[in-house]
Amino acid sequence: MAVVTNTFLTTNAVGNREELSDVVSRITPEDTPIYSMIEKGKCVSVHPEWETDDLAAPGTNVVPEGAEYDFDAITPPTRLGDYTQIVRKSWAISGTQEVVSEAGNVQKRKYQKLKKGVELRKDIEFAIVSPQPSVGGNIRQLGGLPTWIVTNASRGAGGANGGFNSGTGLTVAPTNGTQRAFTKALLDTGMSQGFTNGANFKHIVASPYIKSVFVTFMSDANVAPFRYAVSKGGERNTIVATADYYEGPFGTVMIQPDRVMATTALARNAFLIDTDFLQFDWLRKIQEDKDLAKTGDADKGVIIGEGTLVVKNEKGLGVIADVFGMTASS
């Protein structure tokens, strides 16, 4: 369509004011399922330790009438430990930037402090689900959940457990096996193994893709079908294609997708969790360092924390490892 000659357009203008919305959309989600659901505790050293104990296996218990007592040997508990890991985020904003008018105020101290705190929580979740082994010394590292679980571990061909090494006092990273599809059969086997060893799993935490596979279990011939009754009166009908709980032969578990696990390195594990056996202990809770020296014309900030994962008894936890966690083939 033709434009009238000499029409003055915005593209020719010099002094038009730019418009930038004051609303800032932050897409990065904040959820941290495992860290959020487990108990928080307090430790007083960089290497907190604890003990685990087990009941003796059941067996024949028959004694003759009138027999003299004999006394069973006592098996000492197993001593375990983990190292605290320091996590930190920081920022520096010029004095001028802190006071000028800014759309959204995302480049201000208050917003940055909040944002960095959320990022630290997600970094902690990452450490928990990561196969990172524990490390002592100056650059300490907590042992991630995959490095602890050995009793109730289902692995692909060639995969091997890590576990706690009582000689070194450190956890060992597991060895990856051949990846396979996450199936109802694998879940049932994992829950059966845990039940036999005394576990009572309550949660499955896995990648978002694993949740989508879990939903398809309702199509299995061995799963009782369920439907929602549709009310009359012109209301819209809903297609229900999701499930959050699985009631299997060995208990009921709720599945929770973990966005932090939506990476190739982390998505290959689906964790079976009883929160009674997990805890996160803080040596220093996440807080702002108020003692930063003022140098230069800038507002500087640091938030820092130090804590570790406490696996009270790995027999109360499980992992279905080496599964396709990103796509049907990866």
Which pLDDT score, from 0 to 100, does residue 21 have?
44
In this predicted model, what pLDDT tens digit does every residue of 210-259 receive, in sequence order? 999 998 887 776 666 665 556 666 666 666 677 788 888 999 999 999 99
In this predicted model, what pLDDT tens digit does every residue of 156-211 receive, in sequence order? 999 999 999 999 999 999 999 999 999 999 999 999 999 999 999 999 999 999 99
* Three-state SS at 129: helix
Residue 51, pLDDT > 80, answer yes
In this predicted model, what pLDDT tens digit does every residue of 120-129 receive, in sequence order? 999 999 999 9
Which pLDDT score, from 0 to 100, does residue 9 have?
61
* Assigned CATH class of 33-49+78-221+240-320: alpha beta
Instruction: Please report which helix (H) or strand (E) contains residue 213, including its range.
Output: helix 208-215
Q: Which of 169, 166, 162 is nearest to 130 (CA)?
A: 162
Contacts 24+ apart (CB under 8 A), 221-227: 222/184, 223/184
Which pLDDT score, from 0 to 100, does residue 1 have?
66
